[in-house]
Structure 1
Amino acid sequence: MPGTTNTVKTRRVFYIPGYDPYPPQRYRKLYETEGPKQADISGYHLSVATAKDRPNAWEVTAEIDGARTRAGIEVLAWSDIVRDTMQASLGASYLQLLLVAWTYLARGTLRRLAWLRKGPIIAGFYPVLMLLAQLAAAMLAGKIAAVLVTGALASGADWLAGLFGAVATETMAWTVADFALGWVIFGAVTVALLSWAKARDGKLCAYYLMHDLAFSVSEGGAYPSVLEARMEEFKRQIAAALAGPADEVLVIGHSSGAQLAVSVVAGLMRDGMLPANGPALSLLTLGQAIPMVSFLPKADTLRRDLHELAGDERITWVDITAPGDGCSFALCDPVAVTGVAPETQRWPLVLSAAYSQTLSEETFRSLRFRFFRLHIQYLCAFDRPGSYDYFKITAGPDTLGESFADRKPSMNRIDVPVSRFRSMAA
């Protein structure tokens, strides 16, 4: 870890988002909004401008701690892949539900994950319960509709038949027609109500979270080929920056982008893409839920990458989570709990964003039940920032290693091996 301070005049930042279907411009707008807020609170200057030659990037100029810096921040987007995976039909979505439930329940993975943190387990299986509840409600409505309609038709048919001295509903033809019609009404109402609920999933996010989980478990924890190809593109972009004039290249992985960042950086190191006298290479993971994938049977590649990065002296890796973020495995060392820590583990430095201390009581109270907003708080301004300041890290004069040189890991970190599956790719 470097021993000097204020060594960064230019920085390249690569941000890998989580499972997000929205275009990367939303992260630029978030930075434009929250960065000046943090600058006003913390007493430094920061300005943001769109990068003309890169649609997914922006330029930041700052004056922090008496030093002037420039940073180019770029989103490594995979939102198109996310959108493609979210096009599943109703039937496919419920098949995904079965896949997710089977994957985490069949081999006790869910039980082991629950030993670490309950929050992400609740968040993860909320869509399973919500979609099952919607199915049950839609089927009940379908059954009621079928009974009412067929009952009304039977009464009408008997009334008409009574005019001629007969009972229409006692014939074999009516029985068959009544049975078939009942099932048609039941199916039509059930599908219509489920389709209605799916079209209005924006607030409940049940289908969104289901697709997220299903994408992670689709290959049993292995990276899908389409994502592997995109990660290779990410590696090439970062490697080009490492060959440039920047003083630091900072890779940030947020949410499910954290495991992608780990594997991309590990691949760079393994493929010899880190120049001997090049920029400092740093990795920052935020709000990670890595165990949701690394605990799966076929996550051999991710486990190998965690193992390799954890002992590498050429980088700095800091992992920031917050117990107030129910969507992350807060203060869980992703390497240790997966059971792949090397004997000489150096990374990650596990720290807390400590929402209860770094946010004002009013802000924290207003966000308390806004779980998705809390999950992106790492990218936002803090009322009482501690050692973690996203904007100072991405635009300030110190490398990530210098910023946290004197910090000890959180005393509340969880570093006990828990995962049943610990095999690693060769």
Structure 2
Amino acid sequence: MTRVARRHVLYIPGFDPVPPRAYRERYRREAARQAEISGYVIEKGEPPEGARFGWHVDAHVEGAEVAVDLEVLYWADIVRERMQGGIGATYLALVRTAWAYIGSGALWRLMRLRKGPVIAALYPVAVLLGQGLVALAIAGLVAWCFYRGAHGLMSLIGADQLADPFDAFRPLAALAGFGTGYLFLRWCAKRDHLYAWYLMKDYAFSSSLKGAYPPEQEARMEAFADRIAEVLRSDVDEVLVVGHSSGAYIAVSVLADLIRAGRVPDDGPVLSLLTLGHVVPMVSFLPKAGRLRADLAFMGSADVPWVDVTAPGDGCAFALCDPVAVSGVAGECKRWPLVISAAFTQTLSEAEQARLKWKLFELHFQYLNAFDRLPDGADAYDYFRVTAGPLTLRDRFGERAPSKSRLEAPVNKFTDMAA
């Protein structure tokens, strides 16, 4: 058993435009809550050297002192750039994304896993189509009112006896209607109270190349690999890579690249992988995701402990779906991931569950938050024991059995893998 005195955590977010400081503040806030609940001490320290977006904590957890450097592997700039498309571009992305999943048959296979994330994927389509219909209705009403108002005005001044006096008003009425409908959609996109425009951009990005990684994402993943390789040359005891949401499949591919390239030193720190709230099938089920499927198969049999945590209460994740197995790439030597549940109904009080009931996005981030009703046992999922405790990921969960409710049956039609 390796006792950890120093750990470096590298967190890969999902498709999220927020700056890294939001994750830093979430960690500090929720660590303080969990420390009060569980009797830990987790205190802020100086930021780690070489980390562009990082912070440090000194922890006293489970009777041990642990120094932890944490950093966010940044790609929010790519997310923000992809979210800048206008109204027309968004509706065009809607059509392309729907075709990517429906035309390939991926949508029907995803529905055989968990309904929640599929509904979450269809939700922005429904909302945007609904808003589009409302915009058309508004445009028609404004055009009609404009035209009838012009008719009344011309009648009032006696010009209605002229031949075709209203021809000039028809294009003006149409322009007024179109402009009003467009302004309504711009308001919807800007406010996005229902998060539909954001989610549409998210799914459009993931499916833009039918499962292949966009070039800018590949370039950033290469930079992530360089940074992890640098940390693996430091004198910490464990390097823990955490991938959340769509950051889970990014973490899988980055580590697969790193290991294949021989950049993980034999005498270096323990390397571990933790994935949270994954949405892997949304990409691995697409026809051109051969690169991701190969990485999943590789990491499934690699000598790197990989723990995957989801919860049935998270409607945005493929809860308890083994991402390697359901993608149809589990080989005979498959060892990972260990699929376990965060079990929100058991780890959150009834009051906390009621507070989060309709906050779907906050539920999707609950893996990074404090739990106010943790069960006994060192192998209960607790983000702060995992990141700031004295046990490596393998030692903490090594004796834990996988969830009995996990799904492992291969469902994916596309199982070819990149060489």
TM norm. shorter chain > 0.5:
yes
Match of 2:95 among 83, 94, 98: 98
Per-residue deviation, 1:159: 3.5
CA distance in 1, matches of 2:315, 2:173: 44
Q: Distance in 2 between matches of 1:302 and 1:55?
A: 27
Alpha-carbon distance in 2 for matches of 1:228, 1:365: 40
For the 8 Å contact 1:350–1:413, the answer to whether it is kept is yes
Q: Among residues 80, 83, 94, which one is paired with 1:83 in the alignment?
A: 80
Contact 2:104–2:286 at 8 Å: present in 1 too? Answer: no
- For residues 213-232 of structure 1, what are the structure 2 equivalents within 5 Å? 213-232=203-222
1:24-423 equivalent positions in 2, closer than 5 A: 24-51=20-47, 53=49, 54-161=51-158, 167-168=161-162, 170-171=163-164, 174=165, 176-201=167-192, 203-312=193-302, 314-386=303-375, 387-423=380-416
In structure 2, distance between residues paired with 1:255 and 1:341: 21
1:209 CA displacement: 0.6
SS in 2 for 1:12: strand
Normalising by the residue count of structure 2, what TM-score does the alignment of the two structures yield? 0.96
Offset at residue 160 of structure 1 (A): 2.6
CA deviation profile, 1:155-184 (whole Å, cap 9, x unmatched): 22234336xxx623x42xx45324322321
Moved over 3 A (4+): 52-55
Residues 322, 339 of structure 2: 8 Å contact kept: yes
Residue 272 to residue 82, structure 1, CA distance change in 2 (3 Å): same
Distance 1:31 1:270 in 2: 32
- For structure 2, the 5+ residue unaligned runs are none
Is 1:50–1:57's contact at 8 Å kept on the other side of the alignment?
no
Offset, 1:319: 0.1
Aligned to 1:116, the other structure's residue is in SS state coil
Residues 55 and 69 of structure 2 are in contact (CA less than 8 Å); yes or no, is this contact kept in structure 1? Answer: yes
- Which letter does structure 2 place at the counterpart of 1:44? Y
Counterpart-to-counterpart distance in 2, 1:43 and 1:315: 31
Task: Give the deviation of 1:295 after TM superposition.
Answer: 0.5
- What are the superposed Cα offsets for residues 209-229 of structure 1, whole Å, 9 maximum, x if unpaired? 111111111111111100100
Shift in Å at residue 52 of structure 1?
Answer: 6.3
Cα separation, partners in 2 of 1:324 and 1:50, compared to 1, 3 Å: farther
Question: Which amino acid is 1:354 matched to?
Answer: A
Tell me which amino acid in the other structure corresponds to 1:349: L
| 2: CA distance, partners of 1:191 / 1:140 | 12
- In 2, the alpha carbon distance for the partners of 1:134 and 1:182 equals 21
Greater mean deviation of Cα atoms: 211-220 or 148-157: 148-157
CA–CA separation in structure 2 for the residues paired with 1:228 and 1:219: 12
Whether the aligned pair in 2 keeps the contact of 1:36 and 1:46 (CA below 8 Å) is yes
Q: Could you tell me how far apart the structure 1 residues matched to 2:372 and 2:228 are?
A: 33
Q: Aligned equivalents of 1:102 and 1:186: distance in 2?
A: 30
Q: Does structure 1 residue 10 correspond to structure 2 residue 1?
A: no
Indicate the SS of the match to 1:176.
Answer: coil
Distance 2:93 2:324 in 1: 28
Offset from partner CA, 1:339-377 (integer Å, 9 cap, x none) = 011112100000000000000010011101100000000
Please, which runs of 5 or more residues in structure 1 have no aligned partner?
none
> 125-134 vs 325-334, which deviates more?
125-134
Supply the distance in 1 between the matched residues of 2:41 and 2:184 (Cα, whole angstroms).
Answer: 52
